Amino acid sequence: MPLGHLYIVATPIGNLEDITLRALRVLKEADIIAAEDTRHSSKLLNHYGIRKPLISYWSEKEKIRTDDIIQKLHAGMSVALISDAGTPGISDPGSVLIKRAIEEGVNIVPIPGPSAFVTALSASGASIEEFTFIGFLPQKTAQRQKKLHGLALEMRTLIFYEAPHRILDTLSDMKDILGTERQAVLAKEITKMHEEILRGTIPEILDSLEKRTIAGEYVIIVEGMKKEDVSIEIALEEIKALMKKGKGRKESVKIVAEAYGLSKKELYDKSLES
């Protein structure tokens, strides 16, 4: 018996009109729909008159449900995977199933559509030539701050997701670690009735948010470190970090100097003094 197909179906991130005709057809034709939260997804499916068997596929049940879905795919059934909003696997459940299905030889069919960070980025005005999507930062303060320290010298635009109960703490950490002059964009409730996009430095956005009602998930977009802002002191810290990871001094100096357009000789001499 031929294997079934696993469809990775992107669904609206807020406005139910933001779904493609192809996505609707696939959801209507699939044998089973695997949803992050069946109650949440029922609103979308009922809106479009789609009546299909639903299987719950949320993070805590991801490994268990993966086995069930793989069995159904081996039985020749087609499965449409959806998350509560956006594209499955992008900071949402789905990656475990997709990886397993690939290992099992199942045909994976992506059905493109909405993604919160792409939507926010398109309206941000930030540099989009190169960007790095981080997703959700660690929940614990120490781990979150460590992650931000590791991103402090990243020159590409940084994109994060954050929950409402952590947004103020995260922005405060960003202000302290990434700096007070970084331009940023905060997008709230994208495509929904109370959609709002704030722009400014991290402290300005933090100050503005503290005066507003905090609700819904957020997309945070922060400009990367500028080459001209990298001091010798910052570069030396980067060299030390590379050397702690096992690289030699000469190699570390070469990497940092080329990355930030600094003098190799000056950096090498300074690294010997520090």
Work out the mean pLDDT of the chain and round it to a whole number. 92
Phi, psi of 49 (to 5 degrees): 65, 35
What does the pLDDT read at residue 216? 87
CA-wise closest residue to 162 among 199, 137, 145, 187: 137
CA-wise closest residue to 11 among 65, 88, 69: 88
State pTM to two decimals.
0.86
**Residues in the chain, overall count:** 274
Q: How far apart are CA 228 and CA 267, in angstroms?
A: 16
Superfamily of domain 5-114: Tetrapyrrole methylase, N-terminal domain (3.40.1010.10)
DSSP string for 211-249: TS---S-EEEEEPPPPGGG--HHHHHHHHHHHHHTT--H
Identify the CATH number of the domain defined by range 117-226.
Answer: 3.30.950.10
What does the pLDDT read at residue 240? 85
Buried b (16+ CB within 10 A) or exposed e, 146-166: eebeebbbbbbbbbbbbeeeb
Q: So where are the chain's domains?
A: 5-114, 117-226, 230-273
Give, as one character, the DSSP assignment of residue 61.
Answer: G
pLDDT band at residue 60 under the 50/70/90 scheme: confident
What does the pLDDT read at residue 2? 84
